[in-house]
Amino acid sequence: MTDPDLSQRLANVRGGIADAARLAGRSVDDITTVVVTKFQPVSLVRELLELGVRDFGESRHQEAQVKAAELAGSGIRWHFVGQVQGKKARQVRAYSSVIHSVDRESLVAGLATPVADQGESTAELDSSVVDCFVQVNLTEDPARGGVSIPDLAPLVERVLSAPGLRLLGLMAVAPLGAEPKRSFALVSELGAQMRGIAPDARYLSMGMSQDYAAAIAEGATHLRIGTAITGNRPAAVNLKTS
Ligand SMILES: *Cc1c(COP(=O)(O)O)cnc(C)c1O
């Protein structure tokens, strides 16, 4: 049994996406909706699976790892949308289909597959490829995550030369207080510039619960939508209360 409110919210968002796509003269088939389930229980992910959702987003490694293990074999594509700690990079890679938040050169080394030393057998080497986005920071605040615009091109080059990573394009979060449509237009422009060095990186991960229509108008191909579908997130459990 699925919660009628959940299926209603999902239907509303799907309708909103279809409307925004129509207005933009775009096909909904070119838009992937990632339902962000951070802080939500596995039971909610299962309900969404029953409702046909296959792309799920998580932003905290430990939580994502537990959910991915519990739901192994379900056909879910996990999208990692949070900041990746360097020492957890290989673990994040292990369960993720897409990593949306590549934001620094040191992380690329951690995410890439190891290259065989000369003479070493290649039989045991990981030949898998993981899709990724480079996250761009549209603010002046480094804590918001993402590479600064001046450092974007070198990071893109670094990803392109890393074995085992396939660059899909750019990801961004619209800054608070700014007009989302203008922010997304900038990301779209940066994406077009970047295709000079990465012709296949034509995807854009942008748009959340409050601003997905504006993102679709500016060419988003991957929406990351949480609360508009899931309802409010449970308050973060404070582990330090005892
Ligand atoms: C939580 C989160 C989202 C979803 O946010 P909502 O406002 O709940 O839609 C999208 N992207 C990232 C990076 C997030 O951390």
Residue 80 Cα, ligand 1 centroid: separation in angstroms? 11
Residue 239 located in a structural domain = no
CB 116 within 8 A of CB 125: yes
What CATH number does residue 217 fall under?
3.20.20.10
**Which of 35, 36, 133, 183 to probe ligand 1 with, by most ligand atoms within 8 A of CB?**
36
Query: Is 17 among the domain residues?
Result: yes
Q: Has residue 241 been placed in a domain?
A: no
Distance (Å) from CA 226 to ligand 1 centroid = 6
Q: Which one, of 76, 193, 198, 217, lies nearest residue 132 by Cα?
A: 198
- Whole domain around residue 78: which residue ranges? 4-111+121-230
**Is the C-alpha dihedral spanning 102, 105, 106, 109 positive or negative?**
positive
Instruction: Specify the number of domains making up the chain.
Output: 1
Residue 113, helix vs strand vs coil: coil
102 in a structural domain = yes
Q: What is the pLDDT of residues 81-102, one digit of tens each?
A: 999 999 999 999 999 999 999 9
The residues near 116 (Cβ < 8 Å, ≥ 6 apart) are: 122, 125
Measured from the Cα of 227, ligand 1's closest atom is 8
Phi, psi of 109 (to 5 degrees): -60, -40
- Rounded-to-integer distance, Cα 160 and Cα 81, Å: 20
Question: Taking CB atoms and a 6 Å cutoff, what residues make up the pocket around ligand 1?
Answer: 36, 38, 59, 81-82, 173, 208-209, 224-228
Report the chain's C-alpha Rg in angstroms: 18
CA of 39 to the centre of ligand 1 (A): 11
Residue 158 lies in a domain: yes
What mean pLDDT, rounded, does the chain reach? Answer: 93
- The reported pLDDT for the residue numbered 235 is 77
237 inside domain: no
Confidence of residue 242 (pLDDT cuts 50, 70, 90): very low
| CA–centroid distance, residue 227 to ligand 1 (Å) | 8
Mention every residue, 6+ apart, whose C-beta is less than 8 A from residue 96: 64, 78, 79, 80, 130
> Is the confidence at residue 173, as pLDDT, over 70?
yes
pLDDT digits (tens, 9 = 90+) for 46-71: 999 999 999 999 999 999 999 999 99
Burial of 121 (0-12, 13-18, 19+ CB in 10 A): exposed
- State yes or no: pLDDT of 240 exceeds 50: no
Q: Answer whether residue 240 is part of any domain.
A: no
Q: 144-172: per-residue pLDDT in tens?
A: 999 999 999 999 999 999 999 999 999 99
- Can you give the pLDDT at residue 209? 98
